[in-house]
């Protein structure tokens, strides 16, 4: 990847759907951590699953979701979600699909973020105990 693309991704702001933001708030509350940490967990979960459509959108509010607590999407800076690991995230994404330019990289990272939070929601299966949720994630591997 060109340094220019890396710099742009670090300085971009990703935006999620309102449902993803509500899920982030819910899990951050359960885990007693920040939405940023939950975002990184989601990103990793999705990258581990493989290819994602760059226009991925989360499904509808499901039985495993807490009630919607927000009506706007989450905005997160690239530096916040990627920290110093952007090269790793891009390498993982590149294992499953071709990334041709900045716009594609940005779309794929947003898609992985949102899909990962949906994966987390599915595995949580309505649990409100963070230890049980992480156990469910480990058991799914």
What are the residues whose beta carbons fall under 8 Å from the beta carbon of 10, sequence distance 6 or more? 78, 79, 82, 86
Q: Which domain holds residue 20?
A: 3-140
pLDDT tens string, the chain, 141 residues long: the values are 588 889 999 999 999 999 999 999 999 999 999 999 999 999 999 999 999 999 999 988 888 888 888 999 999 999 999 999 999 999 999 898 988 889 999 999 999 999 999 999 999 998 999 999 999 999 887
Predicted pLDDT of residue 41: 96
Report d(CA 79, CA 86) in Å as an integer.
9
Predicted pLDDT of residue 60: 86
Name the CA radius of gyration of the chain, rounded.
Answer: 15
DSSP string, 33-83: S-HHHHHHHHHHHHHHH----TT-------TTSPPP--SS--EEEHHHHHT
How many structural domains are present in the chain? Answer: 1
The dihedrals phi and psi of 75, each to the nearest 5 degrees, come to -110, 125
Which tokens in the block code for residue 102?
């900045």
Predicted pLDDT of residue 33: 97
What are the residues whose beta carbons fall under 8 Å from the beta carbon of 17, sequence distance 6 or more? 57, 58, 73, 114
Dmax over CA atoms of the chain, in Å, equals 43
Which tokens in the block code for residue 86?
């952007």
For residue 97, what is the DSSP state?
S
């Amino acid at each position: 990847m060109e340094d220019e693309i890396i710099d742009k991704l670090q300085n971009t702001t990703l935006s999620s759907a309102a449902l993803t933001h509500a899920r982030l708030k819910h899990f951050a509350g359960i885990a007693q951590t920040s939405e940023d940490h939950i975002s990184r967990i989601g990103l990793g979960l999705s990258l581990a699953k493989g290819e994602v459509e760059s226009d991925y959108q989360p499904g509808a509010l499901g039985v495993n979701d807490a009630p919607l607590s927000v009506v706007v999407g989450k905005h997160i800076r690239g530096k916040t979600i990627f920290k110093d690991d952007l090269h790793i995230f891009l390498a993982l994404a590149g294992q499953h699909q071709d990334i041709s330019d900045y716009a594609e990289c940005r779309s794929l990272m947003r898609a992985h973020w949102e899909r990962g939070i949906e994966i987390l929601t599915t595995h949580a299966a309505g649990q409100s105990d963070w230890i049980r949720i992480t156990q469910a994630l480990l058991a799914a591997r």
